[in-house]
Amino acid sequence: MRTSNDQSVLGVQNYLEKAAQNLKPVVPIKFCISSRTDAGVHALCNSAHLDIQRAPGKPAFSEKQLIYSLNYHLKPEPIRILNAYRVPSSFHARFSALSRTYIYRLLMGCTHYSEIPVFERDLCWAPAGGYLNVPAMQDAAQFLLGTHDFSTFRSLNSETPFQSPVRTIFQADIRPSSGFLSHHYEHRGLEFWELKFRSRSFVYRQVRRMVGALVAVGQGKLTPLHIKKLLEIKDARAFPPNAMAPPSGLFLKSVEYDEADLDATVGPGE
């Protein structure tokens, strides 16, 4: 999200809006981002909507023109525009989303942080203690599926009093994965795993807290049944101290919409 001028770190939204000003709109372009992510969290694919008002007589940008122009001005940054769609004015990047999918990358087999491959730095989490009991974690993840009060699994912030803690988890999977060029160092015995969660929305830091609790199960600090009990307690203070997963391993994978909402023929709005 956009950060203010007095903050030392700029958000992706700041860079997008700066690039969009090169399109010479009549009024400044504001991006409405579908999903906010903490500092240090990555996005394989996020989405946003924007309105562009061009000078009288200027034709509307085509989708290809928009992608090319924005990417040209984003060139120095690790940010890329992948697709653009003309949508009706009723579309909202945040509220029209059907679901959001996050993945969390775990690295097992490291006894010390220095064993993390340099090309994976800040892109995964290697919990202390080496290997984890994955079957126990998979059993525990099943308790997270469905509709629950996730009060125990949210961090408190200024928005907490105004947001319902009830969320529905459609998917909670733990599967083997791979690292960057990891087939070239298989002899090191490192294992990459992905935890995938899909829901229409998540409470603040919910995914990182769910991952942290599942890792605690994998380390034997908690049992799978503890996950069920944590849900039933419905109290953020009951979450195990220092158990929240760090932001570095978390990726917003995708934001899902109804295909009809992305139909370029449905309306004139841009």
Q: Which amino acid is at 224?
A: P
38 is catalytic: yes
Q: Which residues have C-beta within 8 Å of that of residue 31, sequence separation ≥ 6?
A: 13, 16, 17, 20, 48, 49, 50
Here the tokens at position 243 are: 């158990």
Residue with tokens 């599967």: 175
The span from the CA of 251 to the CA of 248, in Å, is 8
DSSP classification of residue 205: T
d(CA 53, CA 216): 51
Could you list the beta-strand ranges (E) of 6-66. Answer: 32-33, 42-43, 48-49
Active-site position among 6, 38, 51, 261: 38
Cβ contact 155:244 at 8 Å:
yes
Q: Is position 131 annotated in a ligand binding site?
A: no
Residue type, 12: V
Number of alpha carbons in the 13 Å side-chain half-sphere of residue 43: 23
- The pair of three-digit structure tokens given for residue 251, joined into one six-digit string: 């990726």
Binding residues for substrate: 102
Catalytic site positions: 38
Binding residues: 102
